[in-house]
A = this chain, B = another copy of it.
Amino acid sequence: MPRNKQILLDNRPQAEARAGNFKLVTTETPALADGQVLVRHHFLSLDPYMRGRMNESRSYAAPQPLGQVMQGGTAGEVVESRSPKYQPGDKVVGMGGWQEYSVVDAEQPGALRKVDTTQVPLSHYLGAVGMPGVTAWFGLVKIIEPKAGDTLVVSAASGAVGSAFGALAKARGCRVIGIAGGADKCRYVTEQLGFDACLDYKQHKDAVSLSKALKEAAPAGVDGYFENVGGMVMDAVMLRMNAFSRIALCGMIAGYDGQPLPMAYPQLILVNRMKIQGFIVSEHMEVWPEALKELGTLVGTGKLRPRESLAQGIESAPEAFLGLLKGRNFGKQLVKLV
């Protein structure tokens, strides 16, 4: 049985998450029972939602249990199978957690998904052609409901969700403006991802200043906004939203360490008859097939070229995750495990 390095949640953050909240252990993978498969993880996905689960308080998901392997999406290869559904060598995506191997009950619906890596590299099934991509698709298609010619904005534009949002929006004839942190990210967003413009929020000291820059990039105002960040960035975009505009609220990473994060101008929701809606993509499994098909085609045809930040080895997962919370990643944050 292979040895399996795992990262556990050892204790909960008091405010800011830190490396000491995690603990590295090594175990042996157990022998397989009938119907089980052993998956060797090639990639672990790190995502902002994991920060919420580290808290004990009420959130949309049950808290991550203490002393257990951190939950998370994984892409890998079946190395041993006692299920007729899988053969060694099959490439699979699942929720294997922060560890090198997982034992999966292949009969459990949705536990594993076989993927085809001839057109789409395996790692992208954790990003553009996975949960982050479907997240962008749902917010755009089901909440923002754009018309051709609409002006749309997405924050954290260079990330896994933001980059997919841009490609999906361009495919629908929209003008797309990104917001990202730093000149390098903004250059990538316009030059590689094909956004019409990108604003560097780090160049602005407050929402009013960022809002003025957005006015130049979006002279006709903003019809739809996909929010990953919250706080000052959200306030700035709200100041430019048009009548009957829509906000898909996917994340508020700026407040994940427990900082107060008020919305400065809620009266604009009324003045502009806006709709703001929060959502969690795992509650809308019915859209996944349609969304994954479109996203796979965008990646396969080169219209969406996702960028990845790779950390090497499971030991590096905690630091890579803490960096993600501070925006230090550039593109989809993964841990490479082989």
The interface size of chain A toward B, counting residues with CB under 8 Å, comes to 33
- Cβ of A263 under 8 Å from chain B: yes
A208–chain B nearest beta-carbon distance, Å: 13
A204–chain B nearest beta-carbon distance, Å: 19
A266–B251 Cα distance when bound, in Å, is 11
Taken residue by residue from 232 to 266, chain A's Cβ proximity to chain B (1 for < 8 Å, 0 otherwise) reads as: 00100000000100000111100100001111111
Q: A262-B263, A266-B230 are in contact. Are A278 and B283 (CB under 8 A)?
A: no
Contacts of A271 in B (CB 8 A): 52, 58-60, 278
Chain A binding surface, main DSSP class: loop
Contacts of A262 in B (CB 8 A): 262-266
Nearest-CB residue, chain B, relative to A52: B271
**B266–A252 touching, CB < 8 Å:** yes
Nearest-CB residue, chain B, relative to A270: B278
**A249–B263 touching, CB < 8 Å:** no
Q: A262-B264, A263-B263, A264-B262 are in contact. Are A249 and B269 (CB under 8 A)?
A: yes
- Name, among A52, A250, A266, A280, the residue most crowded by chain B CB atoms within 10 Å (CB to CB): A266
A206–chain B nearest beta-carbon distance, Å: 14
A56–chain B nearest beta-carbon distance, Å: 14
